Amino acid sequence: MVGNVFQVAQKLRNGSLIPSEVCSWCIRRSQLAKRLNVFITELPDYAQQLAEKSDERIALGKPLGLLDGIPIAVKDNYCTAGIKTSCASSMLENFYSPYNATVVQKVLDAGASVVGKTNMDEFAMGSGSLDSIYGPVRNPWSRVYARKRQMLTAVTSSAGVAIQQAQSGHGVSLSASQRIPDNYDDSYKSFSMEEDDWLIAGGSSGGSAVAVASGSCFGALSSDTGGSTRVPASYCGVVGYKPTYGLVSRHGLIPLVNSLDTPSMFTRCTDDAAAILATISGIDVMDSTTVQDCSVPFSLPDDASIEGLHIGIPEEYHAPGLSEETLDTWTWVADLFERAGAKVTRVSLPHTQYSIVCYSVLCVCEVASNMARYDGIEYGYRSEQALSTHALYADSRHTGFNDVVRGRILAGNYFLLKRNYDAYFVQAQKVRQLITADFRRAFDAGVDVLLTPTTLTVAPPYKEATQHDNRTMSAQEDVFTQPANMAGLPAVSVPVKLSSQSLPIGLQLMANNFEDKLLLTTAKWLEQQVQFNRLDLVEDSLGLGELVH
């Protein structure tokens, strides 16, 4: 079963599918994808219950909306009543929220079936989904990559054909029509994935990205503070969309950086993103940072057009370390826009280079503050220490938090010390003002949408990624994505094409505040042009267990 929310919803309407069937299918997929370590909490029974209720409603011809009966996954930093919310941390390993996050409630009220809580970096700190107490998330394209590598080293006479056909490695097909050539059966049987062959999924919302990429759900809620949605989207070949700050309520989203966090989503296509946004957006009295915007909800035109659109190419986004293939893809797409009638100009956002530095300061400062509540008294891990309140707190926080979290708390408190406050925190706030002004200037000059790479490279292998510490990695991975969070702009990563190693390359589009419709329409146009082949896990005749090893 392939398709997007619209296609599935149509089938549900016309009765060719029922929600509980769709739900079972997704749950089976998540079983296939178990080694990818997508979920912290799987909810097959709960999802089925919800799906059965959808069955009844749809049978009566009274669906709650487009999402009724559609399986959705939720990142494990959203509070879900009665279901564990751990943020992938020992600190909240046994935390059961008494309430639902607003976006979760909205999704449930729309009739969706929540299939599970997805894996992530601890407290959303990281760009790789590597720092979780439940283990790292694995990129589903890893098999393709490993297979490709193996195939490339195998010497066959039909090397050229083999390379092309190797893109349909066993168990993973790029389209339903391609099949494994018979002469590769043997190599398949001896095929094994070494630990090193795994690629990272990107983070911090890696679990949600892979949930969508693997077909375990049709959409997944995530968060984006500095690229936590767009980076994994780029690595996993799915659409990762961060709405304008303030469009979606953060009530119930356990915060990383309150002034940058944006509830976001992964979907298979841009239409789905618009559909999910329509469900989850809206002013919320429980969140004073939500704003009323009349442009939402919206749906995207069937024929997305970019006639008269002004695309800006910010030159500073050719940062050191940008891979050749990503650069070529960026160039190619810019060209694509121009040939199709859009006006493409180069623009300058001069403070881009300092954006990541600014982010590194503001992020840790807010982290230091937001993490101050974890003391084990009202909730969370509590050590046995009883000498004094401070001793208890220190001990609980030592065990409950990993090195990354503790490191950020210490750094944040350092920058917030009276003697450092002006030089670091206030200076970072001023640089943030400058970055926002850069964008404003570009948009005021007539640019509609900015086109940039999402990440420097394709998904790196695990071995390579773990050579750097979390902080360094974030500084590299998030270099293109966090400026949009600084200015609150809507941004989306669209998978464009495969690299020479058959890994997805994504590009980022950014628009002005509250121009989400324009942004997604442009993204839809691009999507229609590039026709990116999505990853599709198919059931293997050899049995489920063989598929993922």
Partner 1 sequence: MACVIITNIFKRNSFKKLGHFWYARSLSVAATRLKHDREWKAVIGIEIHAQIYSKSKLFSGSGTEYAYPVNNQVGLFDAAIPGTLPVINKRCVEAAVMTALALNCSVNKVSKFDRKHYFYADLPAGYQITQQRQPIATDGYCRCIVYNPAVPKYREPRELSVRIIQLQLEQDSGKSLHDEENGYTLVDLNRAGVGLMEIVTAPDMCDGEEAASLIKELQLIFKTIGTCNARMDEGSLRVDANISVHRPGEPLGVRTEVKNLNSVRFVAKAIDYEISRQIELLEDGGKVENETKAFDFKTGRTVSMRDKEMKQDYRFMPEPNLPPLRIYDSSDAVSHLDAHQVINVDDIRASIPTLPAAKRTHLVDVCGLPWADAIKLSSEVNLMEYFEGILRDAPHRLPKTAATILLKHVLRCVYKAKCSIADCNLAPQRVGEICDLIDTSKITWDIGAKLVDMVFEGETLNPAAIVEKNKWHKITDNEVILRLCQTAIDENPKAVRKYKEGKKRYFSTLIHHVQNKTEQCTDSFVVMDTLKQLVLCEYSKVTQES
Partner 2 sequence: MSLVLSRLGNTVKRLTSFSKLCKSKRVFASNEKSKVPQKPTWSHVEENKLTEETLIDNETIDHLERMSLVDFNNQAGIDRLNKAIRFADQLQLVNTTGVEPMDTVLENRSLYLRSDEVTDGNCQNDILQNATKVIEDYFVAPPGNIPLPDQERDYGPASAKKRK
CA distance 526 to 495: 9
Q: Of these partners, partner 1, partner 2, none, which one is at the site of residue 51 (CB under 5 to 8 Å by kind)?
A: none
Residues 21-80 that bind partner 1 (CB under 8 A): 78-79
Tell me: does residue 389 bind partner 1 (CB under 8 A). Answer: yes
Quickly tell me which residue has 């100009």 as its tokens.
345
Confirm whether 75 is a catalytic residue.
yes
Instruction: Determine how many CB atoms are found less than 10 A away from the CB of residue 529.
Output: 15
Residue 39 near residue 119, CB atoms below 8 Å: yes
Residues 138-167 that bind partner 2 (CB under 8 A): none
Which one from 228, 281, 355, 502 is the annotated catalytic residue? 228
CA distance 164 to 162: 5
CA 436 from chain center: how many Å?
A: 23
Q: In the complex with partner 1, which residue's Cβ is closer, 98 or 543?
A: 98
Compute how many residues bind partner 1; rule: CB under 8 A: 45
CA distance 72 to 49: 14
The per-residue DSSP string of 91-108 comes to GGTT-B-SS--HHHHHHH
Tell me: does residue 422 bind partner 1 (CB under 8 A). Answer: no
Tell me: does residue 513 bind partner 2 (CB under 8 A). Answer: yes
Quickly tell me which residue has 């694995």 as its tokens.
138
Residues 340-399 that bind partner 2 (CB under 8 A): 344-346, 351-354, 357-358, 360-361, 364, 368, 375-380, 382, 385-394, 397-398
The single residue among 1, 423, 542, 544 that binds partner 2, judged by CB under 8 A, is 423
Q: Which two tokens stand for residue 461?
A: 């292998």
Site stretch for partner 1 (CB under 8 A), options 91-99, 187-195, 331-339, 540-548: 91-99
**Helix 5-13 and helix 44-59, axial crossing angle in degrees, nearest 10:** 50
Q: Of these partners, partner 1, partner 2, none, which one is at the site of residue 513 (CB under 5 to 8 Å by kind)?
A: partner 2
The single residue among 1, 59, 62, 94 that binds partner 2, judged by CB under 8 A, is 94
Tell me: does residue 294 bind partner 1 (CB under 8 A). Answer: no
Residues whose CB falls within 8 Å of the CB of residue 504, separated by 6 or more in sequence, listed in order: 141, 234, 235, 236, 237, 458, 459, 495, 496, 497, 498, 532
**Measured CA distances, 154 to 57, 158, 332 (Å):** 54, 11, 32
Tell me: does residue 418 bind partner 1 (CB under 8 A). Answer: yes
Q: What are phi and psi of 183, to 5 degrees?
A: -70, 0
Which one from 86, 142, 204, 223 is the annotated catalytic residue? 204
Instruction: Determine how many CB atoms are found less than 10 A away from the CB of residue 70.
Output: 30
Instruction: Determine how many CB atoms are found less than 10 A away from the CB of residue 295.
Output: 13
The single residue among 92, 213, 238, 459 that binds partner 1, judged by CB under 8 A, is 92
Confirm whether 228 is a catalytic residue.
yes
Tell me: does residue 2 bind partner 1 (CB under 8 A). Answer: no
Tell me: does residue 441 bind partner 2 (CB under 8 A). Answer: no
Phi-psi region of 144 (alpha: psi -120 to 50; beta: other; left: phi over 0): alpha
Which one from 30, 75, 106, 208 is the annotated catalytic residue? 75
Confirm whether 500 is a catalytic residue.
no
The single residue among 6, 25, 46, 96 that binds partner 2, judged by CB under 8 A, is 96
Coil, strand or helix: which one is 537? strand
Tell me: does residue 369 bind partner 1 (CB under 8 A). Answer: yes
Q: Which residues bind partner 1 (CB under 8 A)?
A: 78-79, 85, 87, 92, 95, 97-99, 101, 250-255, 257-259, 285-289, 365-366, 368-369, 371-373, 375, 377-379, 386, 389-390, 393, 413, 416-418, 421, 425
Catalytic machinery residues:
75, 204, 228
